Amino acid sequence: MTTKATSTGAHQQSDGTRERILDATAVVLTRKGFAGTRLVDVGEQADLQAPAIYHYFKSREELIEEVVVTGVQQMHDCVLRALEAAPAEARPIDQLLIAVEAHLRQVLVASAYTTAATRNGGQLPDHLRHRYESARQAYGDVWRGLLTAAAEAGELKPDVDLGIVRMLVLGALDWTAEWWRPERGSFDQLVKTTQAVVLNGIAFP
């Protein structure tokens, strides 16, 4: 009984340390980028000695890969939750605008993981890109479905290419992580302006 309790406690502590390392990496990666992220910086952020990280991750690259993939998955889950919570009467174009807000909120407010993924996914070396690209593709499929539904409902301008629109919109949303700061204006105003740009650019008024 005592052995089992001790083992369980150690496992929980181990899991907590692993999460602390991941959380710290997300913060450091957001600040310093892929090339500038060092394990010693992660250790300082996590209040650990850098060598202790190797008990949980084989390498710096494995650690960064995990953070970036988690960030994309969190974005995916966030947008799906927002869509599931949409009113039953929401039109396809309304759902598209809900996704715009959810994406911005996740990148800029809710998750250091998603911010780190957005700012650094493109910097990953080729041998680390498979899981990241798979996660991005799955997330892109959500947007592909939203745009297709809006087009089939006759809510989008007929001359727009949905593939180009998807890449342009996602690129613009991701880029806000590079330039938006609260002193530039409220988050709500950013959402409203972005939604207006999407509506005026691809949807019928």
Please, what's the b/e burial string for 110-127 (b: 16 or more CB within 10 A of its CB; e: otherwise)?
Answer: ebbbbbbbbbbbeebeee
pLDDT, tens digit (0-9, with 9 covering 90-100), for 128-170? 889 999 999 999 999 999 999 999 999 999 889 999 999 999 9
Helix 39-46, helix 2-36: angle, nearest 10: 130
Q: Specify the DSSP class assigned to residue 127.
A: G
pLDDT, tens digit (0-9, with 9 covering 90-100), for 100-119? 999 999 999 888 999 999 99
d(CA 17, CA 11): 10
- pTM, two decimal places: 0.86
Identify any residues that bridge with 156 across adjacent strands, giving them in sequence order: 203
Domain ranges of the chain: 2-202
Instruction: Indicate the fold that domain 2-202 takes in CATH.
Output: Tetracycline Repressor; domain 2 (1.10.357)
